[in-house]
Amino acid sequence: MSELSQGYQPTSSRLEDSSSSGDEDTDMHESEQYQQYGNQTRQEDLKQLDTGELEQPRGSAAPTQQLEDDNDLEWREETEEHSETRQQQDGNMKVVASHYNELKEAGRKERFKSRIFHMRNFNNWIKSQLISEYLKRIQENQRMGEPMRVLDMCCGKGGDLLKWEKAMITYLICTDIAEVSVEQCKKRYEDICRRAEKSKFPHKFEAEFFACDSTLVRLRERFKDPSLKLNLVSCQFAFHYSFESLTQAECMVRNAAECLQPGGFFIATMPDAYELMKRLRASSDGRSFGNEVYNIEFVCDTNPPPLFGAKYQFHLEGVVDCPEFLVHFPTLVKLCRKYGLKLDRKTTFADYYKENIEKGRGLLQRMNCLDTVYANRVGNDEQYAHLKRYMKGNSGRPYGSLTKCEWEAATIYLVCAFRKCKNTWDAQGKPVFEFDD
């Protein structure tokens, strides 16, 4: 068995800089990154967001609009201008839905041949650690036997179903914009249930499935029981699609928040906008960057990019090839607070790996997240050149690592979590959330 190196340590100074943003330095990091996010900051926009009046920046897909003061997302009457904008939004989301509907499910042999095989497993390990961390925190404050209810928002083909089964949850709601993906997710769930029936220690959880656009539709109205209270909402590698417009982002946040019990969590993984802009500024053409396995090309004004509708085309080998949008994180935090969600953590994948490697090392090996590399390979392959310093004096010992290209692709992402706060009600029947900061 190979000894795992303490993570990929890139030889490129640019990449070393890009993956070293500890939580303790978040304020300083974001202050510096505002300069990378454009030639001017968005502080004035954030002040407008505080007051409830946010003017949609130039280049955004949505028209100028007010951010509602109340907790109810108002569905606006469509003018001709709004109708045209909605058609653009529908067009982008149809592209996303079509892409994932048409994406064929590769077999195990085909996946193993992929140049991002280990990176995809690594990303899956990150998700496992994140889900485990927050389910444990919820369970610590639950009484024995209390139900554990989860919403998997943008569930895809059901890649996290086994995680939910192992976590012994009680009830699961799965929804996604791609109908084919939801059907495949449902079939996977049925397979899990059949296997559970044959097990000596069966655990079956109930589940419901439906296809819809979480950026435009109020999800609880589609629930079998709209009064259902959730413990956890998970949105993995999908939330950034909502930042096409303020309306869509607010709808997505509301869907994440409104059925969560106080003390429940909304967890997500998404591209780190600061990291993307940092790499863009360092690129040769100022429009695109990437390597052999991923590529990002911006199709919007990036000096500075708009808060919403900051569009780029993302290609990840054999997995993704569709438009995505930057998530301006301070704006997300403010939208979440409007619906009673307080930021609990924001951590890059690189730092989250460092934080979890000791307790998660065994799972990292079982999930085949790292390639096994011997000294003779290191000398001939620049993708593993970073391992040379580990192998001095230990030339016969194998190490585990991602390739340089895989690490560059994996470290564009971050994990984040928000906690649902308690609330009282004012004279108008509106919630007043109790933030402890």
Q: Are strands 171-176 and 423-425 parallel, antiparallel or unpaired?
A: unpaired
Whole-angstrom distance, CA of residue 131 vs CA of residue 145: 20
Decide if 309 contacts 246 (C-beta within 8 A). Answer: no
Q: Is residue 70 part of a domain?
A: no
Residues at the binding site for mRNA are 123-124
- CATH classification at residue 311: 3.40.50.150
Q: Is residue 386 part of a domain?
A: no
Predicted TM-score (pTM) above 0.85: no
Residues at the binding site are 123-124, 127, 154, 176, 213, 236, 241
Could you tell me which residues are beta bridge partners of residue 267?
234, 417
Domain with 240 in it = 3-61+87-368+403-433
> What pLDDT is recorded for position 47?
55
Q: Is residue 243 part of a domain?
A: yes
Whole-angstrom distance, CA of residue 252 vs CA of residue 214: 6
Domain count within the chain: 1
Q: Is residue 81 part of a domain?
A: no
- Whether the per-residue pLDDT at 38 is higher than 70: the answer is no
Q: What is the pLDDT of residues 133-164, one digit of tens each?
A: 999 999 999 998 899 999 999 999 999 999 99
Q: Is residue 193 part of a domain?
A: yes
> What pLDDT is recorded for position 394?
66
Q: Is residue 239 part of a domain?
A: yes
Q: Is residue 373 part of a domain?
A: no
> What pLDDT is recorded for position 90?
60
Which SS3 state, helix, strand or coil, does residue 346 take?
Answer: strand
Locate 387 and state its tokens.
Answer: 């391992």
Decide if 130 contacts 265 (C-beta within 8 A). Answer: no
Cis peptide before 304 (omega within 30 of 0): yes
Locate 417 and state its tokens.
Answer: 């979590």
Whole-angstrom distance, CA of residue 221 vs CA of residue 10: 47
Choose the weakest-confidence range: 107-111, 190-194, 248-252, 330-334: 107-111
> What pLDDT is recorded for position 89?
56
> What pLDDT is recorded for position 367?
95
- Whether the per-residue pLDDT at 202 is higher than 80: the answer is no
Cα 17 to the center of its chain, rounded Å: 22
Q: What is the mean pLDDT of the chain?
A: 81
Residues at the binding site for S-adenosyl-L-methionine are 127, 154, 176, 213, 236, 241
Nearest 5°: phi and psi at 47? -65, -40
Q: Is residue 392 part of a domain?
A: no
Q: Which amino acid is at 76?
A: R
| More confidently predicted of 93 and 240 | 240
Q: Which amino acid is at 367?
A: M
Of the chain, the percentage scoring pLDDT greater than 90 comes to: 61
Q: What is the pLDDT of residues 368-420, one digit of tens each?
A: 999 888 776 665 677 877 776 766 666 667 888 899 999 999 999 999 999 99
| More confidently predicted of 242 and 95 | 242
> What pLDDT is recorded for position 166?
93
